Amino acid sequence: MLKNTFSMYKIFITRHIPDAGPKALKEKGYQVDIYQKDDVIARKELLKRVKGCDALLSLLTDKIDEEVLKAAGPKLKIIANYAVGFDNVDLAAAKKYGVTVTNTPAPEVSETVAEHAMALLFALAHRIVESDHLTRQGKYHGWNPNLLLGTDVTGKTLGVIGTGRIGMNLVRRLNEGFGIRTLYSDVKRNKELEKISNAKFVTLNELLMRSDFVSIHAPLLPSTHHLISTKQFRLMKKTAYLINTSRGSIVDSHALVQALKTKRIAGAALDVFEGEPAFALRRQDSTYLQHAWSVILTPHTASATIEARQAMSKLAADNIIAVLSGKPPLTPAK
C-alpha cells in the first residue's frame, strides 16, 4: 500500500542529469518524467510538462516564476533546483504558493568549484592558455628569458568576495599550500575562516585596492548585481587579476572590457557571463573578450566533474524525497 502511495507522486526533471538522482527517485517508486532533449526546455513545453507534478527538479537555465507555479497546480510541493545558486527561481512566488525551494550545495561541489577557481588563478598567473596556443601554432622558437613572463602566486594577496563553502575552500587551499595572504569581504565576519587561515575581514574597497587576485564567490542578489563595475575596477591594482566562478551579472561586463582594454587590470578569468550562453555585450565587447589573451573563458564548467554533478543529482533527489515524505528539506534555498 505504501509503495502505491509513493507511485502516485509525479516528478518532472527538466533535463537529463547524472543518474544518481533519477535512480533514487525511481527506487522510491515515484513516477519520474525526464525531458529527453539535451537542451534547455522551451517555455511552452515546461508549462505543459509541469502540470500536475508533485515535485519539479529544475536547472539554473530554467526560469521558475509564478507562471510556472500556476501551471503546475496545487499538487506541487517542492522545486529542487539542480544548482548551488537559485536566482532563476522566484522565491517570493514559491512562498506564496506554499512550495519549498531547495538547492544543491553538496560538499563535492564546493571542493570542485574551489579547485576550478584555483586552476583559473594559476592559469592567469602563468599565462598557461597563451603559452599553449603559442606552442601549438609553431611559434615557439627556443628558450627565451623574456618569453611570456607571468607572475608568482606564492606570497601574493588574494581577495575573496563571499566566503561561503566555496570561498572558504579556496582560501584554505591557497593558504596551506602557498602561504598566500587573504583579505575577504562579506556581509559579516567569518570567524571560522579566520581560525583556519590568515584571512582578514576588510571592506570591499580595501580588498580591491590591496589584492593581487580577486575571486568572486557571492550569490547573485539585487545587492550584488554589478557589484564590480567601473568604480571598483579603478580601485584595483593594474597588475591585479579578476576571477569569477559565481554569477555573471555580479560583474558589469562592459566595465570589465573597458578595464581590460585600457589595462586598468592585468587580466580576468570567467566561468560565468551575463546573458549566458551568449555574452550580453555590444558586439565589439564580445569580440574582445573572446580574443584577448588577458582573458580566460570557461563555459560554466566550474562544477563539471563526475563526482560533483552526481552529488548534486543525489542531493536534489534527497530533498524531493524528504519533502514528499513530510520531512524538512535537507538544503532549503535561503
> Following DSSP, what letter does each residue of 113-164 receive, concatenated?
HHHHHHHHHHHHHTTHHHHHHHHHTT---S--TTTT-----TT-EEEEE--S
Task: Give which of 144, 117, 153, 147 is closest to 239, Cα–Cα.
Answer: 153
C-alpha cell at position 187:
556581509
Is 300 among the catalytic positions? yes
Q: At what angle do helices 306-324 and 20-27 cross, to 10 degrees?
A: 30
3-state secondary structure of 181: strand
Task: Please pick, among 165, 226, 300, 307, the residue that the annotation labels catalytic.
Answer: 300
Is 141 among the catalytic positions? no
C-alpha cell at position 333:
534555498
d(CA 258, CA 236): 14
Task: Please pick, among 210, 247, 264, 309, the residue that the annotation labels catalytic.
Answer: 247
3-state secondary structure of 230: helix
Side chain identity, residue 311: A
According to DSSP, the β-strands at 267-270 and 295-297 are parallel
Cβ atoms 334, 327 nearer than 8 A: no
Torsion sign, CA atoms 74, 41, 254, 250 = positive
d(CA 262, CA 238): 10
Report angle CA 42, 86, 26 to the nearest 5 degrees: 65
3-state secondary structure of 227: coil
Report angle CA 116, 320, 162 to the nearest 5 degrees: 35
Is 136 among the catalytic positions? no
Task: Please pick, among 67, 206, 276, 307, the residue that the annotation labels catalytic.
Answer: 276
Eight-class DSSP state of 40 = P
**Which residues are tagged catalytic?**
247, 276, 300
